[in-house]
Amino acid sequence: MPAFTPPEVQLSGIAPELVLCITAFVVLLADAALGEFAERWHLPVLSTAGLLVAIGLAAANWDKSELQLSGTIALDGFAVFVKVALAIFAVATVWSGRDVLRRVGLEEGEFYGLVLFVTAGMMLMASAADLIVTFLALETFSIGLYVLVGFRLHSLRSQESALKYFLLGAFSSAFFLFGIALAYGAAGTTNLYGTTGPGGQDGIVTFLTSTPAGELGFLALASGLLIVGLGFKIAAVPFHMWTPDAYQGAPSPITGFMAAASKLAGFAALIRLFDAILFPLRGEWRPLVIAIAIATMAVGSIVAIVQDDVKRLLAYSSIAHAGFILVAIVAASDAGVASALFYLVTYGATTLGAFAVVSVLGGRDEARVRLSDYRGLFYERPLLAGALTLFLLSLAGVPITSGFVAKLLVFGAAIEEGYWWLVVIGVLASAVAVFFYLRVMVVMYMQERETDEVVAPGAGGPSYAVIGLAALATVWFGLLWGPLADLTERATFFFQAF
Partner 1 sequence: MSLLDITIFAPLIGAVALAIIPKGRDDLVRWGALVVSTVVFLLSVAVLLDFETGEAGFQLGSDLAWIPDWGIGYITAIDGVSLWMVMLTTFLMPLGVLASWSITKRVKPYFVFLLALETGMLGVFCALDLFLFYLFWEVTLVPMYFLIGMWGYERRIYAAMKFFIFTIVGSLLMLVSILFLYFGIGGEPTFDYRELLGTPLSLEMQRLLFLGFFASFAVKIPLVPVHTWLPDAHTEAPTAGSVLLAAVLLKMGAYGLIRFAIPLFPDAARELVPLVLVLAVIGIVYGALVALMQKDLKRLIAYSSVAHLGFVVLGIFVGTVEGMSGGILQMVNHGLSTGALFMLVGALYDRRHTRAIADFGGIASVAPWFAGVFLFVALSSLGLPALNGFVGEFLILLGTFFAYRWWVVPAAFGVVLAAIYLLWAYQRVFHGEITNEANRSIGDLVPREAVMLAPVLVLIAVIGVYPKPFLDRITPSAEKVIAQLESTVIPGSSGLAQAGD
Q: Which parts of this chain interact with partner 1 (CB under 8 A)? A: 378-379, 393, 398-400, 404, 408, 411-413, 415-416, 420, 423-424, 427-428, 430-431, 434-435, 438, 441-442, 445-446, 480-482, 485-486
Comparing CB distances to partner 1, the nearer of 167 and 428 is: 428
Q: Tell the smallest beta-carbon distance from residue 442 to partner 1 (Å).
A: 5
Q: Tell the smallest beta-carbon distance from residue 241 to partner 1 (Å).
A: 28
Q: Tell the smallest beta-carbon distance from residue 325 to partner 1 (Å).
A: 17
Comparing CB distances to partner 1, the nearer of 23 and 307 is: 307
Q: Tell the smallest beta-carbon distance from residue 377 to partner 1 (Å).
A: 13
Comparing CB distances to partner 1, the nearer of 461 and 483 is: 483
Q: How many CB atoms lie within 10 A of CB 412?
A: 15
Comparing CB distances to partner 1, the nearer of 248 and 474 is: 474
Q: Are 68 and 79 in contact (CB under 8 A)?
A: no
The 3-state secondary structure of the chain, one letter per residue? CCCCCCCCCCCHHHHHHHHHHHHHHHHHHHHHHHHHHHHCCHHHHHHHHHHHHHHHHHHCCCCCCEEECCCCEEECHHHHHHHHHHHHHHHHHHHHHHHHHHHHCCCHHHHHHHHHHHHHHHHHHHHECEHHHHHHHHHHHHHHHHHHHCCCCCCHHHHHHHHHHHHHHHHHHHHHHHHHHHHHHHHCCCECCECCCCCCCECHHHHHHHCCHHHCHHHHHHHHHHHHHHHHHHCCCCCCCHHHHHHHHCCHHHHHHHHHHHHHHHHHHHHHHHHHHCHHHHHHHHHHHHHHHHHHHHHHHHHHCCCCEHHHHHHHHHHHHHHHHHHHHHHCCHHHHHHHHHHHHHHHHHHHHHHHHHHHHHCHHHCCCEHHHHCCHHHHCHHHHHHHHHHHHHHHCCCCCHHHHHHHHHHHHHHHCCCHHHHHHHHHHHHHHHHHHHHHHHHHHHCCCCCCCCCCCCCCHHHHHHHHHHHHHHHHHHHCCHHHHHHHHHHHHCCCCC
Q: Tell the smallest beta-carbon distance from residue 130 to partner 1 (Å).
A: 35
Comparing CB distances to partner 1, the nearer of 55 and 410 is: 410
Comparing CB distances to partner 1, the nearer of 11 and 480 is: 480
Q: Tell the smallest beta-carbon distance from residue 386 to partner 1 (Å).
A: 10
Q: Tell the smallest beta-carbon distance from residue 77 to partner 1 (Å).
A: 18
Comparing CB distances to partner 1, the nearer of 438 and 472 is: 438
Comparing CB distances to partner 1, the nearer of 168 and 406 is: 406
Q: Tell the smallest beta-carbon distance from residue 398 to partner 1 (Å).
A: 6
Degrees to nearest 5, angle at CA 75 with 189 and 262: 85
Comparing CB distances to partner 1, the nearer of 120 and 338 is: 338
Q: Are 435 and 305 in contact (CB under 8 A)?
A: yes
How far apart are the C-alpha atoms of 75 and 16, rounded to whole Å? 12
Comparing CB distances to partner 1, the nearer of 455 and 485 is: 485
Q: Tell the smallest beta-carbon distance from residue 401 to partner 1 (Å).
A: 10
Comparing CB distances to partner 1, the nearer of 34 and 472 is: 472
The enclosing H or E element of 72 equals none
Q: Tell the smallest beta-carbon distance from residue 347 to partner 1 (Å).
A: 18
Q: Tell the smallest beta-carbon distance from residue 448 to partner 1 (Å).
A: 11
